[in-house]
Amino acid sequence: DDDNVAGKLDRYSYVDVVGKDISATATAGEGYKFVGWYDSTGNKVTTGLSSDGKTISYTTTGNATYIARFEKTVTQTFDRQILEGSTWIKTTDNKVGMLTNYTHTDVVGATATSTATAGTGYKFVGWYDSTGNKVTVGLSSDGRTISYTTTGAATYHDRFEKVKVTQTYKRQVKNGETWTDTDEDTVGTLSHYTHTTEYGSETGATATAGTGYEFVGWYKVETTGVAETATTTGTTLSYTATDDAT
């Protein structure tokens, strides 16, 4: 083809005696991929090629024709989105999550793939196509890897959202030597009893003792994840939420 858009050769013809060494190199144009050298009968050349296959070299034995083939490429785009309010917003923040591939350019029929990994405090929600429909095929067992055969240019969105953690606050009253849970407001009240918040957010609760009772302090249930850095100011407990906690 005389159209150099698809690709170019450094030599288009060569005339000399039999037994001379000859070579030609193919260079693909923008948006195209070189797919190989072929002989005049359409068979792909597999010998006498450079390591990248773009240069053909041989010793002439007679008239011959070789064809460099190019195919148009298509680009697959993989991006990340995070939920802000009720809207999914594109993000490039690696703290939210990362992908193994963000773009993939190859010929139609090639395999494209990308794997999502959520950042600390975020969770992977799923892969979605350019119209916002959730992808349900071509996924790994955990859903994090998308893999498919390209048919044209395409964009897929990988969605992440903040992990939600639930904080539970209880009241206890001392009966003899034993501390027992109570729901009696006459003993005392709390500003929160259960509170669901995003991972990494500041949270806490304030206690108010009832008449005839004294606030003693906040205590961590050992099997739950209240941060060791939790602090108290008067009757107020403050800390950064990183897990469900009581």
- The full length of the chain comes to 246
Quote the DSSP letter at residue 133: P
Q: From the CB of residue 98, how many other CB atoms can be counted at a distance below 10 Å? A: 16
What is the value of pTM for the model shown? 0.72
Q: What is the residue-level pLDDT of the chain in tens, covering all 246 positions?
A: 456 789 999 999 999 999 999 999 999 998 899 999 999 999 999 999 999 999 999 999 999 999 999 999 999 999 999 998 899 999 999 999 999 999 999 999 999 999 999 999 999 999 999 999 999 999 999 999 999 999 999 999 999 999 999 999 999 999 888 989 999 999 999 999 998 998 988 999 999 999 999 998 888 876 544 444 567 778 999 998 888 888
Neighbours of 179 (CB within 10 A): 12
CA distance 29 to 108: 16
Torsion of CA 136, 142, 131, 80, to 10 degrees: -170
Which is nearest to 146 in space by CA: 154, 135, 155? Answer: 135
